[in-house]
Amino acid sequence: MVEESEFDYIIVGAGSAGCVLANRLVRDGRFSVALVERGRMDVNRWIHIPATYFKAHQSNDIDAVLSEPDETISGKRFAVPQGRVVGGGSSVNAMIYMRGQADDYDDWENLHGCDGWGYKDVLPVFVRQEKNVHLGTPFHGQDGALVVASPEYKHPVNEIALDAALSAGLGWNDDFNGKTQAGAGWYQATAYAGRRQSAATCFLKPIVSHQQLTILTDTIAGKIRFEGRRATALEVTSGGEERVVRARKEIILTAGSFHSPKLLMLSGIGPGAELNRHGIAPVHDAPEVGANYQDHVGTPVTYRLKENIGYQNADRGLAALKNGIDYFVFRRGLLTSNLLAAGACVDTDGDGRPDVQMNFAPFAPGAPGEGPLSCHSFHVHPMTMRPKSRGRLMLASTDPEDPPKFEAQVLQTEDDLDTLRRGVRLAREICEQPQLKEILSEVIWPGPDVSTTVGSNTLDDAIRDQARTIYHPAGTCRMGTDDQAVVDIRLKVNGVEGLRVADCSVMPMLVSGNTNAPTMMIADRGADFILEDA
- Of the candidates 296, 376, 381, 472, the residue annotated as catalytic is 472
Question: What is the spatial distance between Cα 335 and Cα 52, in angstroms, rounded to a whole number?
Answer: 7
414-431 helix and 457-466 helix, angle to the nearest 10 degrees? 90
Question: What is the spatial distance between Cα 114 and Cα 296, in angstroms, rounded to a whole number?
Answer: 22
3-state helix, strand, coil in the chain (%, to 5): 30, 25, 45
φ, ψ of residue 80 in degrees (nearest 5): -125, 100
Beta bridge partners of residue 468, listed in sequence order: 298
CA distances from 342 to 349, 360, 361 (A): 22, 5, 7
Question: What is the spatial distance between Cα 463 and Cα 420, in angstroms, rounded to a whole number?
Answer: 8
Q: Hey, is 236 helix, strand or coil?
A: strand
Q: Which stretches within 331-408 are classed as H helix?
A: none
Question: What is the spatial distance between Cα 114 and Cα 482, in angstroms, rounded to a whole number?
Answer: 10
The verdict on whether 210 is a catalytic residue reads no
φ, ψ of residue 298 in degrees (nearest 5): -130, 160
Q: Do residues 427 and 412 touch, judged by C-beta distance below 8 A?
A: no
Name 525's Cβ contacts closer than 8 Å, sequence gap at least 6.
117, 122, 125, 491, 502
Give, as one character, the DSSP assignment of residue 516.
H
CA nearest neighbour of 434 among 190, 247, 166: 166
Q: Do residues 72 and 464 touch, judged by C-beta distance below 8 A?
A: yes
Question: What is the spatial distance between Cα 533 and Cα 528, in angstroms, rounded to a whole number?
Answer: 9
φ, ψ of residue 227 in degrees (nearest 5): -110, 105
Q: 453, exposed or middle or buried, with CB in 10 Å at 0-12, 13-18, 19+?
A: exposed
156-167 helix and 414-431 helix, angle to the nearest 10 degrees? 110
CA distances from 402 to 66, 83, 238, 262, 281 (A): 11, 16, 15, 10, 19
Question: CA triplet 93, 361, 425: central angle to 5 degrees?
Answer: 110
Give, as one character, the DSSP assignment of residue 404.
P
Q: Do residues 531 and 491 touch, judged by C-beta distance below 8 A?
A: no
Active site residue ranges = 472
